[in-house]
Amino acid sequence: MRVSVKLFAMLSRYAQGVAAGAPFEVQVPEGATLHDLLQQLNIPPDETKIVFVNGIIQELDYRLNPEDNVGVFPPVAGG
């Protein structure tokens, strides 16, 4: 099944040739979770802070559905 993914800030390095925050399509198996998606993209779990699916924060055990829109944000610091 196909999902749309946006990787923000430094996470964009895991999507070759895609600018930070630009959407790209990923094929995942039926029943895949957010954790599975991050593994498929080779993103270490400690490099993610918040994952949104269709605008709602989800846990990594969330099961993806066809055409979901996923946004992945790294931990950030600043003030």
| Phi, psi (deg, nearest 5) at residue 51 | -125, 125
Under 8 Å between Cβ of 50 and 73: yes
What pLDDT score does 77 carry? 54
Residue 16: per-residue pLDDT: 87
Task: Provide the residue-wise pLDDT of the chain in tens; the chain has 79 residues.
Answer: 999 999 999 999 999 889 999 999 999 999 999 999 999 999 998 899 999 999 999 999 999 999 999 999 999 755 5
Domain coordinates of the chain in residue numbers? 2-73
User: Looking at this protein, which amino acid is placed at residue 30?
Assistant: E
- Its pTM stands at 0.92
Decide yes or no: CATH 3.10.20.30 for domain 2-73. yes
Strand, coil or helix: what is 52? strand
| CA dist., res. 71 & res. 7, Å (int) | 6
Q: How is residue 35 written in tokens?
A: 């954790």
